[in-house]
Amino acid sequence: MRVLVCPTAFKESLSATRLVDAIGEGVLRAGPDSTLRRMPVSDGGPGLLDAIAETEGGEIRTFRVRGPLGEPVSARTLWSSPTDVVIETVGER
């Protein structure tokens, strides 16, 4: 059986990447001969970088920056090359 595993994150619980692993493990226990394709997804909010990094690779880095109101926040970035960067705009204080 071929199975596509493509969940989004469980907010404040499990990332999409961890869900892919957990669901994939369960599928393989039930059907050891199954072929899995793992593809975490995101709606564009928190977890977007993890989903892209899982399929495309790259390095996630966190920086302290100023948010829209000038307060310090953590900004996550995904560097897929020295010039290609994805910035996650949802930051934590």
Look at residue 35 in the predicted model and tell me its pLDDT.
Answer: 95
Question: Rounded to an integer, what distance in angstroms lies between the CA atom of residue 93 and that of residue 82?
Answer: 27
User: Residue 21 — pLDDT band, cuts 50, 70, 90?
Assistant: very high
Look at residue 2 in the predicted model and tell me its pLDDT.
Answer: 93
Domain range spanning residue 16?
2-92
Look at residue 90 in the predicted model and tell me its pLDDT.
Answer: 62
Look at residue 93 in the predicted model and tell me its pLDDT.
Answer: 46
34-93 pLDDT tens trace: 999 988 888 777 778 888 888 789 999 999 988 888 889 888 899 988 888 988 866 454
Look at residue 78 in the predicted model and tell me its pLDDT.
Answer: 93
Domain total in the chain: 1
